[in-house]
Amino acid sequence: MKTVLTIAGSDSSGGAGIQADIKTITAHKLYAMSAVTALTAQNTMGVKSILESTPEFLADQLDCIFLDIVPDAVKIGMVSNSELIRVIAEKLREYQAKNIVVDPVMVATSGSRLLTEGAQKTLIQELLPLADLITPNLKEAECLSGVEICKKEDMIYAAQKISETIDGSVLIKGGHLDDSADDLLYEKEKTIWIRGERIENPNTHGTGCTLSSAIASNLAMGDTIEESVKKAKVYLNGALKNGMNLGHGSGPLNHCYWL
């Protein structure tokens, strides 16, 4: 059985973070493992508190995983401080991890910054260069490229700018566009639009986590980046379209919508 590791934060409400990743990987019929960067007390209405893992404990988790069940792909989500980011980069290099997808969680859907400037710098310098694919949302793409994204063509320009600084591919997610939900994959100077109809569902908690772990799952099974992204988009659409409605705020997706 193929195996996928998620390195991310725990979401007590189960809709995003480690929990969304494990459900997604399992829905792809793969074996899921996790290294927890932080515990969060949150629900569909917001985050109440965060307890970060120590760098030593995160390193122990990664050692235990890589020395035993070697993952076929790795997805990295929320990591909120420089020390933890450095530990991850070090361990990925030490164990020569493959099929690395980094979701550079920097700006929340609401627009508020989730990373300090120092942590953002470490993420850019240490972690993004190790990724086969990074998956910024519109605001994160603006941060990484310095390009203001007002229309879809700006996504292409931003992706070009970002890929001048990293070897891997770039997927700019269009979940916050007004008229569609088209994502842009920029691979080896090739522009590929991953088209998506906009689904009118306010329950989008965890879309970013779900997409990146679905991509990692497909990479683990041997698909190319382009195939992996296209299949992940179909999976995400199904989970969103299912229309599950839990909680009082922006609720979670149905990760096992066909069961």
Ligand X SMILES: Nc1ncnc2c1ncn2[C@@H]1O[C@H](COP(=O)(O)OP(=O)(O)OP(=O)(O)O)[C@@H](O)[C@H]1O
Active site residues: 173, 204, 206-209
Q: Distance between CA atoms of 36 and 52, rounded to whole angstroms? A: 9
Binds 113, which of ligand X, Mg ion, none (CB < 5 to 8 A, cut-off by type)?
Answer: none
C-beta of 137: minimal distance to Mg ion in Å? 5
Length reported for the chain = 259
Q: Distance between CA atoms of 63 and 44, rounded to whole angstroms? A: 33
Binds 207, which of Mg ion, ligand X, none (CB < 5 to 8 A, cut-off by type)?
Answer: ligand X
Q: Which two tokens stand for residue 62?
A: 């990664």
Subset of 80-109 contacting Mg ion (CB under 5 A): none
Of 122, 104, 121, nearest to 172 by C-alpha is 104
Subset of 170-189 contacting ligand X (CB under 6 A): 173-176, 181, 183
- Of 8 and 89, which CB lies nearer to ligand X in the complex structure? 8
Query: Per rule CB under 5 A, is residue 196 in the interface with Mg ion?
Result: no
Binds 252, which of Mg ion, ligand X, none (CB < 5 to 8 A, cut-off by type)?
Answer: none
Query: Per rule CB under 6 A, is residue 104 in the interface with ligand X?
Result: no
Number of residues that bind ligand X (CB under 6 A): 22
**Longest pairwise C-alpha distance within the chain:** 47
Subset of 202-241 contacting Mg ion (CB under 5 A): 208
Report, in this order, helix, strand and coil percent for the chain, each rounded to 5: 40, 20, 40
- Of 91 and 233, which CB lies nearer to ligand X in the complex structure? 233
What do you get for the CA distance between the two ends of the chain, in Å? 21
Query: Per rule CB under 5 A, is residue 174 in the interface with Mg ion?
Result: no
Query: Taking CB under 6 A as the rule, which mask of x and - marks residues 189-228 in contact with ligand X?
Result: -------x-xx-x--x-xxxx-x-----------------
Three-state secondary structure call for residue 210? helix
Binds 132, which of ligand X, Mg ion, none (CB < 5 to 8 A, cut-off by type)?
Answer: none
**What is the H or E stretch that residue 190 is in?**
strand 190-194
Of 6, 27, 164, 169, nearest to 72 by C-alpha is 6
- Of 208 and 252, which CB lies nearer to Mg ion in the complex structure? 208
Q: How far is CA 58 from CA 9, 91, 95, 139, in A?
A: 11, 10, 15, 28
Q: Would you call 179 exposed, middle or buried from its count of C-beta atoms within 10 A (0-12, 13-18, 19+)?
A: exposed
- Of 65 and 144, which CB lies nearer to ligand X in the complex structure? 144
Subset of 121-160 contacting ligand X (CB under 6 A): 137
Q: Distance between CA atoms of 173 and 236, rounded to whole angstroms? A: 12
Residues within the interface to ligand X (CB under 6 A): 16, 109, 137, 173-176, 181, 183, 196, 198-199, 201, 204, 206-209, 211, 233, 236, 240
